Structure 1
Amino acid sequence: MEEKQQFELWRDDVHPAIVSKVDELHLLGYDRATEDEVWACVLHRLRKEKNFVAKHVFVHAILALSPQQYMTWLTAEAYKQPEDWFQEFEV
């Protein structure tokens, strides 16, 4: 029987690591990085794991997230958005 991942239950526990990663991204010039985006990016990467992910592995994944991985994920998510980019400019 497979164990179910506990990612959502761990959000409060790993919050300091998320804040640290957001601060790091801000220091590197990625001023628009948010806690929710970092959380979603790490979840996207770890949900592919077939084995149970322990909490310490989850924290390591947050702290090891590179700016390149984050920006690649952001770009892919932007392409998933609706294609009507100019909707707000229609008269």
Structure 2
Amino acid sequence: MKMHAYDIFFEEVEPAIDVKIDEFRFLGYEHVTRAQLWEYLKKKKWKTPKSTIRLFEIVEDVLGIKVGEFINYTTVEAYMDTEFSLENAEEMKELLK
């Protein structure tokens, strides 16, 4: 996978990521990982990296992740990753119900 400009901060902000993961677990989302949160930030919040980003801004972004937005993102990603084909007549009938 392609390296993101902010990947150099990952190890330094792991404690903040762990705090956010604890928040997710407290709310009943037991299977969220560091990698998933980091990928979410890279794809959604940090699409266009700033050249002068500071560590506190990265931590702020991590701690500012809203649970609902993350869950929506993972749901959409799961749908996008699902293989879907209209070649199977049964699948097409199921879709059209």
Q: Give the TM-score of the pair, scaled to structure 1.
A: 0.76
2:15 maps to amino acid: P
Residue of structure 2 in register with 1:68 after alignment: 68
Write the letter of the residue equivalent to 1:17: A
In the alignment, the residues of structure 2 paired with residue 39 and residue 50 of structure 1 have an alpha-carbon distance, to the nearest angstrom, of 14
Identity of aligned residues (%): 25
1:75–1:22 CA distance, 2 compared to 1 (3 A)? same
| Distance (whole Å) between structure 1 residues aligned to residue 38 and residue 49 of structure 2 | 19
The 3-state SS of whatever aligns with 2:58 is helix
What amino acid is the match of 1:24?
Answer: E
Moved over 6 A (4+): none
Superposition map of 1:36-47 within 5 A: 36-47=35-46
Aligned pairs (5 A) from 1:6-85: 6-49=5-48, 51-52=50-51, 53-83=53-83
TM-score normalised by structure 2 residue count: 0.72
Between 39-48 and 17-26, the greater mean CA deviation after superposition = 39-48
Amino acid at match of 1:18: I
Distance 1:50 1:24 in 2: 26
Aligned Cα RMSD in Å? 1.8
> How many residues in Structure 1 have an aligned counterpart in Structure 2?
80
> Structure 2: how far apart are the matches of 1:32 and 1:70?
13
Offset from partner CA, 1:23-76 (integer Å, 9 cap, x none): 110001111111111111112123234643322111111101011111011012
The 2-side partners of 1:31 and 1:44 are apart by 22
Structure with higher Rg: it is 2
Gaps of 5+ in 2: 85-97
